[in-house]
Structure 1
Amino acid sequence: MAQHGTHPGGRVLIIAGSDSGGGAGIQADIKTVTALQGFATTAITALTAQNTLGVFGVHPIPVSFVVQQIELVLDDIGAEAVKTGMLGDPALIEAIADTLAQHAPDVPVVVDPVMMAKGGHPLLDPSAEQALKTTLVPRATVLTPNVPEAEVLSGRTIASLDDMQAAGETLLALGPHAVLMKGGHLPGETVTDLLVTAEGIARFSAPRVDTTATHGTGCTLASALACGLAQGHPLPDAIARARAYVRRAMETAPGFGSGHGPMNHGHTVAPFQE
């Protein structure tokens, strides 16, 4: 008989690409969920050859094998939340949406619409943008675009918080339960994220961290958010903890590499008090 120890819970299935540099993608996702006392499982969508200076190669995983990873994990281990990251092409996006609908119809999904690496390398085929909008975004519990991603998905130019809110409302109309508009690309000493839902707008603001350790911030925030949802916490609380985790990870970054460096995923954020 298998031995079962105690675990705080929060099984998160992460469907995303691998980052050989360890700062973003699957590697960042696993570290984040583990640091927040969840349990990470994965379906890897692509292998990348990258470091802090950029992405130098991408090797997509066959769609059927990505689906097999998802099905085997969900049918045996299960998940309280799913997080998607780098997805690649329309066929893969459609297959993921179909597989989740069949095997995890009621599981919260955090969709991080990864389109471009920090150094500018495209990670989503332009032909896949429509598939993302019509198949996966409507399935999202939370959509977490940064400003450039939100501009592409909404068709709007974003230069202010008012623009962010308008774009967020446009994206909300695509069908997700909530949209977390990340404001890090806007100028200013304060970074403000907007949570856009049918009930209204919530603001999350903090002073900007002056650092080059920004690689993987989007992946990390989305995984931290998914972990909070998997552990049963309300969306605003899960966002607040995720933001605190990312902020501390930036502040205590190890300083590796000569480009956009990795954060310190290994720090511990105080878990929610029971």
Structure 2
Amino acid sequence: MMAMTRPTVLCFSGFDPTGGAGIQADIEAVAAAGCHALPVITALTDQDSGRFYSLQPVDSELMAAQIEHLLNDFQPAAIKVGLLAGQAALKLVSEVVQVTTGIPVVVDPVLAAGGDGTPLGEGSIAQGILRQLLPFTTLATPNISELMVLATADHQDVDLSVDQANDPQETLAARLLADGCHAVLVTGTHAPGDAVVNRLYRTGEDVVGRSWPRLPGSYHGSGCTLASHIAGLLAKGVPLPRAVDIGQRYAWQTLERADKPGRDQFLPRRLWREEFTIADPEE
């Protein structure tokens, strides 16, 4: 008897040679959701577990050919977008998102390196994401810093005073929703405190916050892991609020089990279930 075919997720991300973030994170987190990743690399990076050195965008003609051949062969059930290193990649991915209507799109707006905060991509990339990509996005997963950059890319006059709103983060998220994004999950990994608080914003719905114990140390690839696993769950038909909840728990568990094969940041252990299955096979 043939096995049931797994849903596929078209993933656009950069290549991280540490394997902690980028396309490897997508592949592993999507696989952990029971789906198959279709990886399209948008940029090659030179980085280690603590420092970012350089970035080289992938040739846009090669990317276009890969996309064409994949879409002629597969029918993705979801799309996940990570690092877009330039306008050419942004244009290609935006076109794909606009023509593959009816499937969920998860955007993790990678604007800086997770290790040392080095800015990634061109200066205008945030404005391009806001205008060309977010109006077609099911879920965006910015951290607080990325939220600020995106929400003010076209709205330099945003007033974050307490007179306007008790929660400036909600004001910023509302900007993205007003620009067409269906839902925004703001991750609290970059905020201080003993807990990481993630908040899901949707138009006309109550804000849903989840709090997770902050783990000691620094982690590389947590955002990619979260967004990709949610994309895999959406590809399987899991409703958005449930997918966000499961995705957060999965991401936290990968960090709880993370190890430190290099000298600096911890790397998420995204396939820990498979490791345990191999070590202790069922009789």
- Note whether the superposition's TM-score is higher than 0.5: yes
Question: How far did 1:129 drift?
Answer: 1.8
- Letter of the 2:267 partner, please give it: P
AA aligned opposite 1:20: P
Q: How does 1:98-117 map to 2 (within 5 A)?
A: 98-102=95-99, 104-117=100-113
- Answering whether residue 173 of structure 2 is matched by residue 168 of structure 1, we say yes
The correspondence of residues 79-118 of structure 1 with structure 2, limited to 5 A, is 79-102=76-99, 104-118=100-114
**Alignment partner of 1:148 is 2:153:** no
Which residue does 1:272 correspond to in 2?
none
CA contact (8 A) 2:201 2:208 kept: no
Q: Deviations over 1:212-231 (max 9, x none)?
A: 24110111110011011000
Of all paired residues, the percent bearing the same amino acid is: 34
RMSD: 2.1
Rounded to whole Å, the distance in 1 between the matches of 2:85 and 2:28 is: 23
* Alignment equivalent of 1:64, drawn from 41, 50, 61: 61
Q: Deviations over 1:84-123 (max 9, x none)?
A: 0000112321222113323x12221101111001111221
Larger radius of gyration: 2
Task: Check if 1:215 corresponds to 2:235.
Answer: no
1:201 and 1:267 mapped to 2: Cα distance? 34
Which is worse superposed, 23-32 or 191-200? 191-200
- The partner residue of 1:29 within 26, 30, 36 is 26
Return the alpha-carbon distance in structure 2 between the equivalents of residues 74 and 62 of structure 1: 19
In the other structure, the counterpart of 1:263 is 268
1:189 aligns with 2:199: no
Match of 2:236 among 225, 231, 247: 231
* Structure 2 SS opposite 1:78: coil
Q: Does the aligned pair in 2 maintain the 1:212–1:259 contact within 8 Å?
A: no
Q: Give the Cα separation in 2 of the matches to 1:240 and 1:13.
A: 22
Q: TM-score, normalised by structure 2?
A: 0.87
Q: Do the aligned residues in 2 keep the contact of 1:80 with 1:230 (CA within 8 Å)?
A: yes
**1:178 Cα shift?**
0.9
The runs of 5 or more residues in structure 2 that have no matched partner are: 153-157, 275-283
Alignment length (residue pairs): 265
Is residue 4 of structure 2 the alignment partner of residue 6 of structure 1?
yes
Q: Which digits, 9 at most, give the CA deviation of each residue in 1:24-61, with x for residues without a partner?
A: 00011101111221111111101112110122221210
